[in-house]
Amino acid sequence: MLSPGLILLVSAAYMGLLFAVARFGDARADAGRSIITANVYALSLAVYCTSWTFYGSVGRATSGGLSFLTIYIGPTLMLLFAGVIVKMIRIAKTQRLTSIADFIAARYGKSQLLAGLVTVIAVIGIVPYIALQLKAVAASLDVLIGKEGAGYLPAMFDSTLIIAALLALFTILFGTRHLDATERHEGMVAAVAFESVVKLVAFVAVGLFVTYGMFGGFAELFQRAAATPGLERLLQLDSAKAGTWAALILLSGLAIIFLPRQFQIIVVENVDESHLRRAVWLFPLYLVLINIFVLPLALGGLLHFQGQTFNPDTFVLTLPLARGAETLALLVFIGGLSAATGMVIVETIALSTMVCNDLVMPWLLRTRRFGVAEREDLSGLLLGIRRVAIVAILLLGYIYFRAAGEAYALVGIGLISFAAVAQFAPAVFGGMYWKQGTHAGAVAGLLGGFAVWLYTLLLPSFAKSGWIDKGFVENGLFGIGALKAQALFGLAGLDEISHSLWWSLFVNIGLYVAVSLWSRPDAVEAGQAERFVDVFKHAGRGTDARLWRGTASAEELVGLLDRFLGRPRARQQLANYAAGRGLDDWRSLPVDAEFVRFAETQLSGAIGSASARVMVASVAKEEDLGLDEVLDILDEATQVRAYSRELEAKQQELEAATAELREANERLRELDRMKDDFISTVTHELRTPLTSIRALSEMLHEDPEIDVDDRTRFLGIIVNEAERLTRLINQILDMAKLESGRAEWTTGEVDVAAIVREAMDSVGQLFRDKAVALEGEIPDSVPAVLADRDRLTQVMINLLSNAVKFVAGGSGRVKVRVVAGERALRVEVIDNGPGLTPEECVVIFEKFRQGGNTMTDKPQGTGLGLPISRQIVEYFGGNLWVESSPGAGATFVFTVPLPAHE
Amino acid sequence: MRQRLAALGLLGIPLLTFPLLGLPGGSWAGIPASYLYLFGVWALLVIAAAWVAERSGK
C-alpha cells in the first residue's frame, strides 16, 4: 500500500503544478499574448468529463453495458449544431452576458426575477454534483491508502476538507482576480485544459494496462466475458431500452451547453468564435478516446474480482493495485483528482458569478440597510461577495457530501443534475429563435419544469436515501395513485430519468408556449427579443439609439462605472470606447443613447444585465417609450432592412440591364462600321473597271490615228471590263436581296446529282481552255431534296469557277463528289491548288475578300460569290465551308438536308 | 460549413439510436459487433466533422 504521506505530497505537488499553469496563463493574458488557442479551448471543454466519468462510467458499464456511452454521444451530436452555439456566443458577447442566468434574464426584459429563478435552479441542481466530486476524491483516497492507513491524520484534518479548501483557494485566486467586464479567466481555462490531458492520459494508461497487461487484449477479454454467465448480456445492446437510450442522448446533449460550467467554458470563456471550428471535432474525439477502455475495464474488473465484493466505481484503482502497480494507481488517482478539481473549479466560478450578480447584488441594491447604493467603490465589494459565494458553495457541497455519504441521493446525482439544467432549454432556444416568447412564458415554463423535476426526481432520490417518507413515491401524494412520483398519471415502464425528463419538458415547453402566446411582452423585452433573434443581422446603432430616449449626465454614468468596475478599469474601458468612436478624450463623448448603452453593457458584465439596467435607470431620466412605440421602431428597422435588400436587388438588376444595353450598342456600332466598310469597298470595286473603261475610251476618242490592232485590243478590254461591271452590279443586287430577305425562291424537289452534272457541263469549256482535269464521282441517283434549282446551280458554278481560277494550268485537277448521308446530301469540290491558311478559310466567306494576295495580284473575281453561295445554302438549311491547309489543295463542301422521314 | 455540420448531426441521430442500433449482432474477430459498430460510427462521424470543419479555411 502507498504511504499516506507520499499520496499527500504528490497531490500537493499536482495542485502546485495547476497553480503554476494558471499563473502562467494569466501572466500571458496580461501581457496580451493569450495562450488560449483553438486546441486549448477544445480541451477545456472536456471539463464535461468529471470524476463521475472517470470512476463512475466503469461502474455504470458493469450494470448497463454500453448504455453509459449515451452521455458522450449526446454532446458529440449537439456540437455538430455549431450554428446554435455560435449564435449563443455572439449574443453573449454583444450583450456582455456572463452566465446562463444572465442569458435568460437578459432575453426576457432583463428580469431580476428570472435571473434569480435560474440561479436557484442551478444551485439546487448542481451543489449535490459538487458534493459527488468531493466524495469521489475521498473514496479514491480510501482505496489508495487502504484500511491500515486510516487514522493517519487526526479526524479534524479531514483530507476531503483540505482538498475542498485548496480548491476554494484556487478558485478565488484565478476566478476572482479582478473584475473583468467579460468575466474571462484565461489562467483557469489553461489549467482546465491541462487537467483534461492529465485525466485522458491516466485513463488510457490504466485501460491499456488492464486490457493488455492483465488480459490478452480486447478479443480475449470479450471472449472470456461472453463465456461467463451474467456478463454476456453487457456485450449486447438491449433494444427494450430504446426509449432510455434516446432520452439520455437528448439529456446529455442539452447538458453540454446548459450546465453552468459548460456554458462558462463554451460561451463565456470563448476568445474567438473560430475556435469552435476545432472544438466541433476535437472534443468529440477526446470523448471517443476516453471511452474506448471503459467497457474492457468493467469486464476486466468483474472477471478479476469474481465472487468478491468490490465497488465497481473504483475498478480503475483496484485493478492496478491488485497487480501491485502502485505507480500506475497513483497516476490514476491524480487523473481522478484532476477530473474532480476541474469540474469543481469551473462550476464554482460559474455559480458564484450567478449568485453574486443575480441573487445578492439585486438584494443589496434594493435594501438600503447597508448603504450599498451610496458607497464610493463597489468593485471590492463585488469581488468580496464572489469570494464568499465560492467558499459557501464549496462548503455547501462538502456538508452535503458528509450528510449524504453513501446515500442514493449522491450516487445518482449526475443525471439528476443534467435533468435540472435541461429545464433551461425551452427558454434559451425559444428566446434565440422565437420573438414571441415572453417573460411570463419563460417564468411559467421554468417554474413548471422545475417543480416536476423536483417532484419526480430529486425528492424521490431523497426518499430512497431514507431522508423523507417514501409514501409519495410508492402510493402517490395523499394516497392518490395517479400522483405516484415516478409513475405520474400511470406513465410506467420508463426509467426514472426518462420519466422525469419527459414530464418536466412536456410541462415546461407547454407552459412556455401557451403563456407566451397569451401574454404581451413589455417594451424592454420586445427590444431584447429583436437583439437576440436577429443578432447576426441586427442593424445595431441606429435602432439601439432610437430604442432609448431620455437624458443622462456623463458624470453620473462615469461615476457608476467607477463604483462598480473600479476607477482604473472604468477609465481604461472609457478610453477604449472613446477611441472606438474616433475621439481622443472620453470627456468629449456626447451623452447619447449609445453612450448610455455602452455604460449599461459594461455594468452588465460586472453585475449582470438585470442589475445593470436598474442602476442605469437610477441615474438617467428615461422616457418610457411604451410597447407600441418600441414595436413600431422595430418594425421600421425590419422594414428598412427589407427595403435595403430590395434596393440592392434592384441595383443589381439595373447593372445587368446596363451591361446588356452596352453590349447591344457595341453590336450596333460594329454593324454600322461594317456598313460603311461595305459601301466604300463597293465604290472602290466599281471604280476599278470604270476607270479602265474610261481611260481606254478617252484614248480611242482623242487619238483617231490609233492603229487597228490596238483599237481592237482596247475595245476587247472595254467589253470585258463592262461585263465585269455588270456582273458586279448584279451580284451586289443579288446580295442585297438575299440579305434583306426579298430574294425570290422557287422551291421544289430537285435532283442534286443532275444539277452537279449540268454545272460541270456548263463550265467545261473553262476547264478545257486552261487544261485542267475535271472529274466527277456522282452516284446515279441520289434522294431528292427541297431547294431552288437555279440557285443551287449558281452555287455549284461559283464553286467550280473558283476552283479553276486557283489551280495551275496543265497540272491542275478538280474533283467533284456527291455523297448521300443519313440526314443530308454532301457535295464536295476538291482541288489541288495552293490551299488556304486557317485564317483565310474564314475570311474568304466575307464580302469582297478574295483568295490570294489582293495587294499584288490582279483580282480574279468579285469577292461576292462565296458569301452569296453561303447565304443560299444556309437558306435551305445546309452549310458551306472549306477544309484546307497551305500547299495541300482545298475542299469546298456544302450540305443540303434531306427531307425528314415520314 | 454550419449547414454541413448540422447535416452530419442529423445523420448521426438515427445512426446512433435504436432501431438501427439493434442491427449489429454477433462478433467480429472476437470483439462484439455492437461495440465495433458504436465506436466505428462515432469515430467516423468525428472524422467527417473534422474534415468539414478544417477544410473550409478561415
pLDDT tens figures, B4-49: 888 888 888 888 887 777 777 777 777 888 888 889 999 999 999 9
Which residues are CB-contacts of A396 (< 8 A; sequence separation ≥ 6)? A127, A130
Q: What is the pLDDT of residues A818-833, one digit of tens each?
A: 888 888 888 888 888 8
Q: Which of A81, A237, A277 is closest, CB to CB, to B9?
A: A81
Q: How far apart (Å, rounded) are the C-alpha atoms in residues A865 and A847?
A: 9
Which chain A residue has its CA at the smallest distance from B10's CA?
A: A77
User: What CATH code would you report for A744-897?
Assistant: 3.30.565.10
* Domain boundaries defined on chain A: 4-367+377-422, 539-625, 630-734, 744-897
Q: How far is CA A679 from CA A578, A668, A686, in A?
A: 73, 17, 10
A288 in contact with chain B, both atoms CB, cutoff 8 A: yes
Residue A511 has pLDDT above 90, yes or no: yes
Q: Which amino acid is at A751?
A: D
Q: Is A787 helix (H, G, I), strand (E, B) or coil?
A: strand
For the entire predicted model, the pTM comes to 0.70
- Interchain contact, B53 vs A284, CB within 8 Å: no
- Superfamily designation of domain A4-367+377-422: Sodium/glucose cotransporter (1.20.1730.10)
In contact, A825 and A818? CB cutoff 8 Å: yes
pLDDT for A768? 87
Q: What is the pLDDT of residues A672-700, one digit of tens each?
A: 887 888 788 778 778 888 888 888 888 88
pLDDT for A282? 93
- Interchain contact, B45 vs A284, CB within 8 Å: yes
Cis preceding-peptide flag for A834 (omega within 30 of 0): no
Q: How far apart (Å, rounded) are the C-alpha atoms in residues A283 and A265?
A: 13
Q: How far apart (Å, rounded) are the C-alpha atoms in residues A275 and A38?
A: 4
Instruction: Classify residue A621 by its DSSP letter.
Output: E
pLDDT for A156? 43
The alpha carbon torsion through A340, A342, A346, A349 (nearest 10 deg) reads 80
Closest CA to A228 of A293, A298, A291, A294: A298
Mean pLDDT of A479-493: 73
Residue A717 has pLDDT above 50, yes or no: yes
Query: Which residues of chain A lie closer than 8 angstroms to B32, CB-CB?
Result: 222, 226, 235-236
A66 in contact with chain B, both atoms CB, cutoff 8 A: yes
Grid coordinates given for B28: 467480429
Radius of gyration over every alpha carbon of chain B, rounded to an integer in angstroms: 14
Mean pLDDT of A298-321: 84
CA distance A92 to chain B (A): 19
Q: Which of A69, A83, A223 is closest, CB to CB, to B6?
A: A83
- Interchain contact, B12 vs A239, CB within 8 Å: no
Q: How far apart (Å, rounded) are the C-alpha atoms in residues A395 and A348?
A: 11
Mean pLDDT of chain A: 83
Grid coordinates given for A801: 469557277
Closest CA to A770 of A816, A797, A796, A806: A806
pLDDT for A548? 66
Residue A662 has pLDDT above 90, yes or no: yes
Q: How far apart (Å, rounded) are the C-alpha atoms in residues A510 and A441?
A: 9
Q: Which of B16, B31, B58 is closest, CB to CB, to A218?
A: B31
Phi then psi for A137, rounded to 5 degrees?
-65, -45
In contact, A58 and A294? CB cutoff 8 Å: yes
Closest CA to A633 of A518, A550, A549, A520: A549
Q: What's the sign of the alpha-carbon dihedral A148, A153, A157, A163?
A: negative
Phi then psi for A883, rounded to 5 degrees?
-120, 120
Which chain A residue has its CA at the smallest distance from B12's CA?
A: A77
Which residues are CB-contacts of A1 (< 8 A; sequence separation ≥ 6)? A144, A145, A146, A148, A149, A326
Grid coordinates given for A117: 429563478
Closest CA to A521 of A426, A429, A449, A628: A628
Residue A539 has pLDDT above 60, yes or no: no
- Interchain contact, A80 vs B34, CB within 8 Å: no
Q: What is the pLDDT of residues A256-273, one digit of tens each?
A: 999 999 999 999 888 888
Which residues are CB-contacts of A758 (< 8 A; sequence separation ≥ 6)? A793
Q: How far is CA A323 from CA A217, A328, A592, A830, in A?
A: 17, 10, 73, 99
Q: How many CB atoms lie within 10 A of CB A7?
A: 22
In contact, A382 and A98? CB cutoff 8 Å: no
Q: Report which of residues A626 and A765 the model is more confident about.
A: A765
Mean pLDDT of A415-440: 90
CA distance B28 to chain A (A): 9
CA distance B55 to chain A (A): 10
pLDDT for A258? 92
Residue A411 has pLDDT above 70, yes or no: no
Residue A290 has pLDDT above 70, yes or no: yes
In contact, A414 and A56? CB cutoff 8 Å: yes
3-state secondary structure A102-166: HHHHHHCCCCHHHHHHHHHHHHHHHHHHHHHHHHHHHHHHHHHHCHHHCCCCCCCCCHHHHHHHH
Residue A151 has pLDDT above 60, yes or no: no
Query: Which residues of chain B lie closer than 8 angstroms to A220, CB-CB?
Result: 30
- Segments in A581-626 forming alpha helices (H): 593-607, 609-619
Residue A566 has pLDDT above 80, yes or no: no
pLDDT for A195? 92
Residue B40 lies in a domain: yes
Q: Could you give the percent of chain A with pLDDT greater than 70?
A: 90
pLDDT for B19? 77
pLDDT for A442? 92
Residue A181 has pLDDT above 70, yes or no: no
Residue A153 has pLDDT above 60, yes or no: no
Asked whether the domain spanning A630-734 has the same topology as the one spanning A4-367+377-422, the reply is no
Q: How far apart (Å, rounded) are the C-alpha atoms in residues A95 and A87?
A: 12
Closest CA to A379 of A602, A105, A594: A602
pLDDT for A370? 61
Under the banding of pLDDT at 50, 70 and 90, the label for residue A624 is low
Q: Is B9 helix (H, G, I), strand (E, B) or coil?
A: helix
Query: Which residues of chain A lie closer than 8 angstroms to B9, CB-CB?
Result: 77-78, 80-81
Q: Which of B2, B3, B9 is closest, CB to CB, to A77?
A: B9
Report the topology of domain A630-734: Helix Hairpins (1.10.287)
Q: Which amino acid is at A678?
A: F
Strands A785-788, A747-750: pairing is antiparallel
Q: Quote the number of domains for chain B.
A: 1
- Interchain contact, A223 vs B8, CB within 8 Å: no
Query: Worst-scoring range by mean pLDDT, A380-384, A627-631, A866-870?
Result: A627-631
Q: Report which of residues A149 and A688 the model is more confident about.
A: A688
Under the banding of pLDDT at 50, 70 and 90, the label for residue A469 is confident
Give the burial class of A174: count Cβ atoms within 10 A of its Cβ; 0-12 exposed, 13-18 middle, 19 or more buried.
Answer: buried
Strands A890-897, A880-884: pairing is antiparallel
Query: Worst-scoring range by mean pLDDT, A173-187, A396-410, A615-629, A855-869?
Result: A855-869
Query: Which residues of chain B lie closer than 8 angstroms to A273, CB-CB?
Result: none
Beta bridge partners of A749: A786
- Interchain contact, B30 vs A278, CB within 8 Å: no
Q: Which amino acid is at A293?
A: F
Q: Which amino acid is at A376?
A: E
pLDDT for A854? 45
pLDDT for A794? 86
Grid coordinates given for A127: 451543489
Q: How many CA atoms does the CB half-sphere of A858 hold within 13 Å?
A: 3
Q: Report which of residues A400 and A175 the model is more confident about.
A: A400
Radius of gyration over every alpha carbon of chain A, rounded to an integer in angstroms: 47
Instruction: Classify residue A359 by its DSSP letter.
Output: I
| Greatest mean pLDDT range, A98-107, A146-155, A564-573, A740-749 | A98-107
Q: How far apart (Å, rounded) are the C-alpha atoms in residues A65 and A302?
A: 12
A223 in contact with chain B, both atoms CB, cutoff 8 A: yes
Q: Where are the beta strands (DSSP E) in B1-58?
A: 27-28, 31-32
In contact, A295 and A232? CB cutoff 8 Å: no
- Interchain contact, A242 vs B18, CB within 8 Å: yes
In contact, A439 and A108? CB cutoff 8 Å: yes
Residue A813 has pLDDT above 80, yes or no: yes
pLDDT for A857? 46
Query: What is the residue range of B49's domain?
Result: 6-19+29-55
- Interchain contact, A218 vs B45, CB within 8 Å: no
Under the banding of pLDDT at 50, 70 and 90, the label for residue A897 is confident
A216 in contact with chain B, both atoms CB, cutoff 8 A: no
Mean pLDDT of A365-371: 68
Mean pLDDT of A453-460: 88
The end-to-end CA distance of chain B, in Å, is: 11
- Interchain contact, B17 vs A242, CB within 8 Å: yes
Mean pLDDT of A30-45: 87
pLDDT for A373? 58
- Interchain contact, B31 vs A278, CB within 8 Å: no
A21: alpha, beta or left? (left if phi > 0; alpha if psi -120 to 50)? alpha
Q: Could you give the percent of chain A with pLDDT greater than 90?
A: 18
Residue A588 has pLDDT above 50, yes or no: yes
Q: What is the pLDDT of residues A75-114, one digit of tens each?
A: 999 999 988 999 999 888 888 888 899 899 989 988 888 9
Give residue for cell 497551305. Answer: A886
pLDDT for B12? 86
3-state secondary structure A534-572: CCCCCCCHHHHHHHCCEECCHHHHHHHHHHHHCHHHHHH
pLDDT for A409? 57
Q: Which of B16, B31, B53 is closest, CB to CB, to A222?
A: B31
Grid coordinates given for A369: 440597510
Q: What's the sign of the alpha-carbon dihedral A267, A268, A273, A278?
A: negative
Under the banding of pLDDT at 50, 70 and 90, the label for residue A765 is confident
Mutation target vs A (from B1, B8, B10, B21; most A CBs, 10 A cutoff): B21
Q: What's the sign of the alpha-carbon dihedral A867, A872, A875, A876?
A: negative
- Interchain contact, A281 vs B49, CB within 8 Å: yes
Q: Which amino acid is at A118?
A: V
Mean pLDDT of A837-861: 65
Query: Which residues of chain B lie closer than 8 angstroms to A77, CB-CB?
Result: 9, 12-13, 16
Closest CA to A180 of A689, A571, A602, A745: A602
A855 in contact with chain B, both atoms CB, cutoff 8 A: no
* A392-396 own/partner pairs: CB under 8 Å, 24+ apart: A392/A355, A393/A123, A393/A127, A393/A130, A393/A348, A393/A351, A393/A352, A393/A355, A394/A130, A394/A164, A394/A167, A394/A168, A394/A171, A394/A344, A394/A348, A395/A164, A396/A127, A396/A130
Instruction: Classify residue A860 by its DSSP letter.
Output: -
Residue A367 has pLDDT above 80, yes or no: no
Q: Report which of residues A663 and A725 the model is more confident about.
A: A663
